[in-house]
Amino acid sequence: MELTVYGPLRSATGEKRVSVDPEGGTVRAVVEAFVAAYPRAESHLVDCDGTLRPSVRVTVDGERASLDDDCPAGADVALFPAMRGGS
């Protein structure tokens, strides 16, 4: 499955589009496969208790998705990490 990643996730992956092989058809499985493939990205996505940070956004075919939503194999998935900054 192809993912588009944004922000600091690109420094963890080295590119904008990456491939992962999730073990399941949910958004959670895709995120877990991404973190397994790119461990440096974990700190941008997951809190110390192992939960996805509230400001992380995942979209499937352009629509915001929760971790338990279905994610078909051919879906267009984008992963937006927690962002900091502003004033």
Structural domains in the chain, sorted by start: 2-80 (3.10.20.30)
**pLDDT attached to residue 3:** 95
pLDDT digits (tens, 9 = 90+) for 11-67: 899 999 999 999 999 999 999 999 999 999 998 898 888 788 888 999 999 999 999
Residue 87 — pLDDT band, cuts 50, 70, 90? very low
pLDDT at residue number 83 = 67
Q: Residue 84 has what pLDDT?
A: 59
- d(CA 79, CA 18) in angstroms, rounded, equals 11
List of residues 6+ apart from 80 with CB closer than 8 A: 6, 7, 56, 57, 58, 59
What tokens appear for 82 in the block? 């927690």
Query: How is residue 60 written in tokens?
Result: 């499937």
Q: What is the pTM of this model?
A: 0.89
Residues 3-13 as b/e (b if ≥16 CB within 10 A, e otherwise) read bbbeeebeebb
